[in-house]
Structure 1
Amino acid sequence: MRPSVVTRSLVSVTAVVGIAAASLAGASASFAASAPASKPAVSTRAVAPLATVNLGLSTAQAKNVQCWLVVHWDYNDALDGQLGTNSWKAMQRFLKAYYGYTGQIDGVVGSGTVSALQRYLKSSHGYEGGIDGQAGTQTQAAFKRFAAWAGGFCN
């Protein structure tokens, strides 16, 4: 009788070990499957938005303005018809030199930039509105007249 008890005990222990091993393997697989995805790499560089502010100009009209800026105000970026930061920095240099712009040369088209632009447009391109820093319809119409005139600098 003794061999039969030993055999049964050995079979029982083997079964328990097998079940335990299978359970652990299954648990590991399910744990691995539920692990969160790795995080993407993070950059520590500051990212500046690339704003395009055409103030109602078409791409062709904005390109005319860029041509004028190349000739007169050290604009050296793409002639792409997108008045972005570098286009507006060049315009701010012009407005600071002649039309009372007092802000930083930062390429941001705020009310100070628009007010100085309105002073210029009033002096040369038929702007009849107030100097209010708002790029409304009259400002945009005068800016379009300026862009048409500036097209003579694109060769």
Structure 2
Amino acid sequence: MRPNVLTRTLVSVTAVVGIAAGSLAGAGASFAASAPASKSAASSEAVVPLAVNNLGLSSAQAKKVQRWLKKYWGYTGAIDGKLGTNSWKAFQRELKRAYGYTGKIDGIVGSGTVKALQRQLKANWGYTGKIDGIAGSGTRAAFKRFADG
């Protein structure tokens, strides 16, 4: 199993378990006790969500970013306005080339990806905050300027 498939599967199973636990926590004790223990909430094959992280961009802005990624950075996915794993893999390729991203090209928007994005936004799109790997309001505002640029 490839690492990103394993990660998505783990995230999917964790989400299903968390949703199930939250649902049971709100239910009465008799309901929770009566649930059959042998039934699985969902299989990892049934639920494999694609992580989407638009970092505050509208769908129209995210489509502009995807078109740019397709033109310059090998993005081959749909222009759907959802910055998912494949969009972020293409973005990571660009960030690795020019903005100090040193992580894996895995499409996960972690602190390393955000730090490199912040360096890009600081160099070209008016970001004035710290390079801290946290996509706060300043990072999101500069990312919107990038998308609209």
Aligned pairs for 1:1-155 within 5 A: 45=45, 48-149=48-149
The CA distance in 2 between the partners of 1:103 and 1:58, in whole Å, is: 27
Displacement, 1:46? 8.9
- Give distance in 1, aligned partners of 2:106 and 2:48: 12
Gaps of 5+ in 1: 1-35, 150-155
- DSSP 3-state at the match of 2:104: coil
In 1: Cα distance, 2:69 partner to 2:96 partner? 14
Deviation readout 1:11-65 (Å, 9 max, x if unpaired): xxxxxxxxxxxxxxxxxxxxxxxxx9xx78x867596431110000000000110
What is the TM-score when the length of structure 2 is the normalising length? Answer: 0.69
Distance 1:111 1:46, change over 3 A: farther
Identical aligned residues as a percent: 67
Q: Which amino acid aligns with 2:76?
A: N
Q: Secondary structure at 1:109's aligned position in 2?
A: coil
Return closer, same or farther for 1:56/1:43 CA change in 2, 3 Å cut-off.
closer
Code of the residue aligned with 1:103 in structure 2: it is G
**Partner letter of residue 99 of structure 2?**
Y
Distance 1:43 1:133, change over 3 A: closer
Q: Structure 2 counterpart of 1:140, which letter?
A: R
CA 1:138/1:49 → structure 2, altered by over 3 Å: closer, same or farther? same
Aligned mates of 2:46, 2:135 — CA distance in 1? 29
How far is 1:107 from its partner? 0.4
- Which structure has the greater CA radius of gyration? 1
Higher relative contact order by CA 8 Å / sep ≥ 6: 1 or 2?
1
Amino acid in the other structure paired with 1:116:
A
Cα distance in 2 between the residues matched to 1:135 and 1:145: 14
Distance 2:46 2:91 in 1: 25
- 4+ runs deviating over 3 angstroms: 42-49
- For 2:48 and 2:129, the matched residues in 1 are separated by 33
Structure 2's unaligned 5+ residue stretches are: 1-35
